Structure 1
Amino acid sequence: MCGILGVIDRKGVDEHSLRLMRDTMVHRGPDDAGIWISRNREIGLAHRRLSIIDLSEAGKQPMPSSDGTIQITYNGEIYNYLEVRRNLKEKGYIFTSRSDTEVIINAYKEWGLDCIQKFNGMFAFAIYDENAKVLFLARDRIGKKPLYYVHDHYTSRFTFASEIKALLKDNKVSRDIDFQALNYYFTFGYIPGELCIFKDVRKLLPAHAMIYHLDSGEKKIWCYWDVPVMTNKTASEDKLLEELDSLIEDAVRIRLISDVPLGAFLSGGIDSSIIIAMMSRASNKPVKTFSIGFEDDKYNELPYARIVADYFGTEHYELIVKPDVFSILPDLVRQFDEPFADSSMIPTYYVSKITRGHVTVALSGDGGDEIFGGYLVYRASLFDYYLRRFIPFWIRNGVARAAEYFPDSYSSNNIIKQLVRMGKDIDDVLIERYIHLFFKERQRQRILSDHVRMYLDNVFTAPELSRLYYLNRREGDIINRLTYADLKTYLPDDIMVKVDRMSMLVSLETRAPLLDYRIAEFSFRNIPGDLKVKRTTTKYLLRKLSERNLPRELNIKRKWGFSIPLAEWFRGPLSSQIMEILLGSDNKYCSQTYIKKLLDEHKNGTDHSTRLYTLLVFSLWKEDVIN
């Protein structure tokens, strides 16, 4: 894993500035660093290297082609690079290194922009083609590796980087806040799509590529991949299980290629446990596994992780996380460069830290929920769907109208919410149910200050992006439409961001076999929704597969994930600290009165831990980056 950077400037690229920008990402690549600047000094590329494959100087970046007309800076791993390399050698290409970087260069020379269709991996790269005078940028299909850019249309200056902090080191990049992005942050806890918290900065979306023309200063962006709609509706459950077992086994196998020590995260849940099972199949020595737990038994999954570790005879390591998060939280928040309120960043950091003490690469179970229907909200959405099919509209509408007359004090009651939903359109209900809103529209109107609301023109509806993906997937069933929306929003913009930043903070490369694009395509093409969520059972098909591979005493019905006892911490050992941070400084973005109300209600028993954490992260980020 690495950090990449590039600057195009007709006035000339300053090498000192390029070096400073590059070295903000030293954590992404502590092993080596490089810079290349064109002869006319109009383009500069930079790289920070975490050596994984071909540890020699031959793998150094930015890397030139054999004739010197192409330069690449690249972050990630191409897992099928040996296969692509063999294909290219048959076509006459000569290789001087064992690195996958050189494979990308020659693949581009052979297939041009279509080379990305040949790669199975996680990647973000930039290729400068001197003859064509273009910069070609691409990001992997799922969005595992990040790529941010700034394009000044007036000066034709273009910069890109793996992390926003590198772009902000350039004094030509404004730190003005994008208030619509801020609105999204308080809605979802993350900023979705191509938006960033800073007006000038944008993300290249997953499965997208870009061409920037140096002569004209124009760019073109396109989507090069998407999962298919369901076409195979006749395959039996046993046949699907056989194919899925083979696919996951191969996805794990190709992710075991490494010239440095390798291990795996283990929570004791289905996803990570299946990965351990497949790693044990492929390895002739014990797998190194790493787990974290909490003193509160309700959140502690270490006993389940030990069952799996003992069953497969792994070399197992554990760490108990204690509520001293304020000692590390400012550093974690800083690493994201923009507000990011997924509290599981904390356990992800700790499991990455303990893992990095023993290995450089770790496999994880990320993606199982989005690809195979693991979230409880899918089950609840299915309930809503069938409820509307079997209860006549006139009954549902009458009940909903009556429920609207309940006083506001009843608004948080789940039964009242269900009654009000009964009169709504099914798509509206499913989207409302599916999207987890940190602050709903009425709450955002109260939490955001007059200053922010002025820029938003009092428009607070933020779930349009998820709605768009869901509604555009008309061909699928309810579950496949919802998982598709997650694949396009929550997975790349929350889960992948969290794992990348927290693992890279300790210079650890993570690999997610369940997010192999072949598995994603297989799932959406072949697995109907009722084999993802079957009655009350989520992730049904993957659970059936786990019965073939995992110990019987493992309780695979539970689901915690990387949860932490945030509500308890905010009422107990961390209560005074969070109050001091949230109320102790001027805040032109949020209402202090409403913050105080949330703190008081949480102390008295109402669980506002998610909202308070969202405000806490924003406050820490604002003090560090803006103030």
Structure 2
Amino acid sequence: MPGICGIISKTEKARNLEKVKMMVDCLVHEAFYTSGTYVNNQLGLYAGWACHAGSFSDCMPIFNEKKDLVLIFYGENFSDKEITDQLKGRGHAFDRSNASYLIHMYEEKGDQFLQDLNGWFNGVLIDLRKGKVILFNDLFGMQRIYYYESQDAFYFSSEAKSILKVIPESRQIDIKSLGEFFCCDCALENRTLFKNIFLLPVGSSWTFSNNSEVQRNCYLDAQSWENETLLEKEYFFERLKETFKKILPRYFRSEQKIGISLTGGLDTRIIMAYLEATPEKYPCYTFGGMYRDSFDVKIARRVAAACKQIHQVVSLDKKFLFQFPEYAERTVYLSDGGLDIGEAHELYINKLAREIAPLRITGNYGSEVLRGARFLRASFPREELFHKDFKAHLQNATKTYDSICGGHSLSFTLFKDLPWHEYSRLSIERSQLIPRSPYMDKDLIALMYRATPEVRRSKDVSLRLVEAGNEFLSSIMTDRGIGGKSNYLFRNMAHIFYEFLFKAEYAYNYGMPQWLARVDHVFAPLHLERLFLGRHKFHHFRIWYRDELSDYVRDVLLDERTLSRPYFNRVFIQHMVRSHTEGYRNYTTEITKILTAELIHRLLIET
């Protein structure tokens, strides 16, 4: 994933310059990236960046007219036109299509300018007038900054691997975080998988100046949102409708081509309901599989046609399986170990999506923000997988999770669930294209804090939003049988039917009980998966680990390097691999986690 990196240090000037170039090289993963460096010896700053060519931040570094302010910025900002109009009116010169106006926002407002930004971003601001450097990220931490502090230097980067590259002593697994990785699918409390490498907290603004301590400030004021007065349901809905109408155009402003990633669910439906577009202006696409058109594909095709936009399917095909080792390893490497190999398809399909358009509008995070969905959870993994000495770290992980679960539910989602758990998938998407979601807009978030708990737990507001924006779209049921204009009895029967298919597919794939796996083993030559799979999901790793990917699973997991890791029970891993690849047991989740952990060691620790 592109981003920023750097070193703040008054020692080893030549060596620091060499190191920052190495760090930048670690951020450049594709030929369509651009990159560069900026050095200020007086302040001891050695900074670099990488970004997508032609993107909002492809104009670094940014200077003000007097050249005494410098900004290195990665990400996007979704402000209204009035802000740039005001800056123009005050005589500032900049290009409205990129990030060049941001330095003038700081020039006019000082440190307070961060509170006026709206998007996912991180950056380094150099104020030569005051002799200080400000390192910052966005309110939600969705543009990560990893950091490492030594006795005489501060290292930071959008990717941990660039710090690992220049700090060999950091190439150690943080054992506490590894326990959380197995229980929660991510490290908690702003720790990472790597020893002494941490995450900048959400909404941070850290100031470095000569001969003084680092000022670790936070410009996020979540408490003011949490203390807002709740709105009556109908009044809230009217406010929500007007707010969504207002913010949506912000995400369709770009000189680059924009594509819309459609699903069969509510969140992309809401976007289409309020989109004002001429016919065939925005190419729409849906991710599909190799067995059949999923409900996502069928419904998205109808939605696109209703809005007079072209639709196509981006398919996960046999080529992905043939190249799976490459995509699995790149997924782990690019995400700094944050995304497991069971999500390697995200890299493949987003690479194909970039061929349609370099910007991708998505409904991601709509269910979390509008309907209170939560994906960061703790579950105790199968104990037999682990060495007895490691089990205490699993128990500690569940205790840590329990300790962070208090407080406002929306704040948990925005400031813990999304930046710690959901970020890793976003990092893979960003490696290939630029995703945008209106559901993380600051104005929308502020309003959602004023929804009652009852409203945030219900699908009714989302359904009403679709109907108010485009009545015809509300007549189309979702992929889970929600909505539509049929009578009450038919809608309920349809919902039950769709939910049955969803759960049946899960039971045949990831969630197949061990007794059923033994039965399925007998019928494996008939390839019954072609009957059961593909209606809801387009990735089917239980079958793939058993068949097409079985050689890869055996090669990695039965290798002595894997079996000798001090965390694992080698005897159970050997049993697990043999029984799953021979088809009479289901260890899909366990194989995914152990494969991922092993690749973290090989690609990020030992390389």
Match for residue 162 of structure 1?
A: 158
Distance 1:175 1:122 in 2: 28
Alignment partner of 1:522 is 2:517 = no
Displacement of 1:186: 0.7
Displacement of 1:117: 0.8
Displacement of 1:607: 4.4
Q: Which residue identity lines up with residue 355 of structure 1 in the other structure? A: A
1:310 aligned to which of 305, 313, 317: 305
> Residues 78-227 of structure 1: matches in 2 within 5 Å?
78-80=77-79, 82-90=81-89, 92-98=90-96, 100-152=98-150, 154-155=151-152, 157-171=153-167, 174-226=170-222
Is contact 1:135–1:212 with CA below 8 Å preserved after alignment? yes
Match for residue 528 of structure 2?
A: none
Distance 2:452 2:578 in 1: 46
Displacement of 1:178: 1.0
Report Cα offsets for 1:257-298 as digits up to 9, x if no partner.
11111111112211122223333x255653211211113459
Q: Which residue identity lines up with residue 461 of structure 2 in the other structure? A: L
Distance 1:313 1:598 in 2: 50
Distance 1:293 1:626 in 2: 35
Q: What is the Cα-based RMSD across aligned positions, in Å?
A: 3.0
Residue 263 of structure 2 aligns to a residue in which SS? coil
Displacement of 1:183: 1.0
Distance 1:217 1:234 in 2: 43
Larger displacement relative to structure 2 (22-31 or 76-85): 22-31
Is contact 1:5–1:73 with CA below 8 Å preserved after alignment? no
Report Cα offsets for 1:320-348 as digits up to 9, x if no partner.
213603342111111112243373x3343
Displacement of 1:189: 1.4
Match for residue 577 of structure 1?
A: 552
Match for residue 317 of structure 2?
A: 322
Match for residue 506 of structure 2?
A: none
Match for residue 425 of structure 1?
A: none
Displacement of 1:192: 2.9
Alignment partner of 1:505 is 2:431 = yes
Is contact 2:6–2:156 with CA below 8 Å preserved after alignment? yes
Is contact 1:174–1:199 with CA below 8 Å preserved after alignment? yes
1:34 aligned to which of 23, 33, 36: 36
Distance 1:575 1:551 in 2: 44
State the TM-score, normalizing by the size of structure 1.
0.78
Is contact 2:206–2:214 with CA below 8 Å preserved after alignment? no
Match for residue 26 of structure 2?
A: 24
Displacement of 1:590: 1.9
Alignment partner of 1:229 is 2:220 = no
Distance 2:372 2:47 in 1: 41
Displacement of 1:316: 1.7
Displacement of 1:510: 0.8
Displacement of 1:605: 6.0
Match for residue 505 of structure 2?
A: none
Displacement of 1:174: 2.0
Residue 337 of structure 1 aligns to a residue in which SS? coil
Alignment partner of 1:486 is 2:410 = no
Q: Which residue identity lines up with residue 113 of structure 2 in the other structure? A: C
Report Cα offsets for 1:166-204 as digits up to 9, x if no partner.
222214652122111111111111223311111121111
Unaligned residue ranges in structure 2 (runs of 5+): 482-498, 503-535
Larger displacement relative to structure 2 (329-338 or 8-17): 8-17
Displacement of 1:366: 0.9
Displacement of 1:254: 0.5
1:364 aligned to which of 354, 362, 371: 362
Check 1:173–1:513 CA distance in 2 against 1; reply closer, same or farther (3 A cut).
farther
Is contact 1:293–1:319 with CA below 8 Å preserved after alignment? yes
Check 1:342–1:136 CA distance in 2 against 1; reply closer, same or farther (3 A cut).
farther
Distance 2:441 2:161 in 1: 29
Displacement of 1:606: 5.8
Q: State the number of aligned residues.
A: 540
Residue 301 of structure 1 aligns to a residue in which SS? helix
Unaligned residue ranges in structure 1 (runs of 5+): 379-433, 474-480
Distance 2:595 2:227 in 1: 42
Alignment partner of 1:295 is 2:295 = no
Is contact 2:299–2:476 with CA below 8 Å preserved after alignment? no
Is contact 1:13–1:37 with CA below 8 Å preserved after alignment? no
Aligned sequence identity (%): 19
